Amino acid sequence: MVDATPPPADAAIVLIGNELLSGKIRDENAYYLAGRLRALGVTLRRVAVVPDEEAAIIDEVRRCASAYTYVFTSGGVGPTHDDITLPSIARAFEVPLVVDPSLEAPLRAHFGARMTPGHLRMATLPAGTELVRGDDFWWPAMVLGNVYILPGIPQIFRANFETLAPRFQGAPFFLASVYLDADEGSIAAALEALERDHGVAVGSYPRIDAQADHRVRVTIESRDSATVERATARLLDSLGAGARVVRVDAAAPASHPDQG
């Protein structure tokens, strides 16, 4: 019998905006989405931050759309001259731009005589764009093929993503963490053996700040909960006298740090 299970989904995020590159604004959206995709079982494989420039947007979106299951863009969909995400994505996929009546109508209703060409550009989409509406904001998520076009304003970005989120649900990751008072180099061989023998993903994150109660956090991950449990037990057994266990977070579904 042929195994019909599709390969696990992966994803890339493209953040569009000079304000991120100039350090004026700190990214909220990639950090939020990284954790949410993890919780949904989607492997995020790349984040890129590009300026408000057509060539840079086209190049990055095209590359990611051909390489990953899902691409999420953030930013550049407002009414000003630097909002060029929608026309750039249209060029990336060589489709024309068309005014969407379901976006134009509420803009005209709201602005009336004050409606500007900038406002109309917000309703001018790559042909074939699907609009997905949620409950929180009137502004919809936009989908063109495997590209999800979201606005940069964090509140709307999150609301739009959560409207879409059920369609990304896959097999979740399970994660255990072992916090150690140990030199990272002294446990390196044990960690490598763990990854090799148990097929888990092992991470090792040193801390040198005084606030931390540990010197290294070791993470053990897999889509199989029992595998994480076995690998965690093996690690705890294999630690030498130089490594003191501070605490252990047992295997649990990976979730976003901000979401408990």
Among 9, 37, 86, 220, binds a copy of itself (CB under 8 A): 37
Whether residue 39 contacts residue 253, with contact meaning beta carbons closer than 8 Å, is answered with yes
Q: Which of 79, 134, 145, 170 binds a copy of itself (CB under 8 A)?
A: 79
Question: Cβ closer to a copy of itself: 195 or 224?
Answer: 195
Among 80-88, 91-99, 140-148, 162-170, the segment contacting a copy of itself (CB under 8 A): 80-88
Q: Quote the CA–CA distance of 12 and 111 in Å, as a whole number.
A: 35
Question: Does residue 21 bind a copy of itself (CB under 8 A)?
Answer: yes
Nearer residue to a copy of itself within complex by CB, 102 or 116: 116
**Residue 189 contacts residue 61 (beta carbons within 8 Å):** no
Residue from 96, 106, 128, 203 touching a copy of itself (CB under 8 A): that is 203
Residue 57 · residue 47 · CB < 8 Å: no
For position 205 contacting a copy of itself by CB under 8 A, the verdict is yes
Spatial neighbors of 55 by CB under 8 A, at least 6 apart, are: none
Report d(CA 115, CA 108) in Å as an integer.
6
- What is the distance between the alpha carbons of residues 88 and 59, in angstroms, rounded to a whole number? 10
Instruction: Say whether 134 sits in a helix, a strand or coil.
Output: coil
Q: How far is the CB of 242 from a copy of itself (least distance, A)?
A: 7
Among 122, 149, 178, 231, binds a copy of itself (CB under 8 A): 122
Q: How far apart are CA 234 and CA 192, in angstroms?
A: 12
Binding-site member from 1, 6, 7, 23 for a copy of itself (CB under 8 A): 23
**d(C-alpha 137, C-alpha 159), whole Å:** 7
Whichever of 18 and 163 has its CB closer to a copy of itself, that residue is: 18
User: For the chain, how many residues are written?
Assistant: 260
Assess contact for 145 and 89: CB atoms under 8 A. no
| Of 91 and 217, CB closest to a copy of itself | 217
The smaller minimum CB distance to a copy of itself, of residues 8 and 203, is found at: 203
- Given the rule CB under 8 A, which residues bind a copy of itself? 18-27, 30-31, 34-38, 43-51, 56, 78-82, 111, 114-119, 122, 153, 155-156, 183-189, 191-192, 195, 201-209, 219, 221, 242, 254, 256-257
